[in-house]
Structure 1
């Protein structure tokens, strides 16, 4: 009789431990990673437990690299950076068209 009570108590404790574990995992908040499109460089910093934080507030590689000193972090190119300058090369003509000046 006493072993049946002990087994029930163990089963109850085990079930409570599982329920508590599931609740703790389900309640943990999810953080959204926001990329600021105004800055070209992001800093990704790792935290305890494997999560990481991305901060896109750096205007240059040098500023980002100086912020990573002593941290488990690295600098990244901001994938959502809106480049405002359009200077540079112009489009080449399509391969099948001829330039009129070469004739």
Structure 2
């Protein structure tokens, strides 16, 4: 009975933690400045507009709340992977 609600709550909580980690990585990149920071700032804004439009379309076409949260989580995790990689040309440990 409470299974779907529980899953949505857990997924939403995970999304919040995952998004916070991405915010930290993005802030570090923005604080470093330079052209990479400018590209990241533009990418961040355009991704948010596209993700909001996609979520609105999902809701308008009858997708579940869980599907919307899952879509956001996929995007956040992809950003985390991208931002966690060492920059090109960086020394490897």
For normalisation by structure 2, the TM-score amounts to 0.32
Between the two structures, name the one with larger relative contact order (CA 8 Å, sep ≥ 6). Answer: 2
Which has the larger helix fraction?
A: 2
For normalisation by structure 1, the TM-score amounts to 0.29
Which has the larger strand fraction?
A: 1
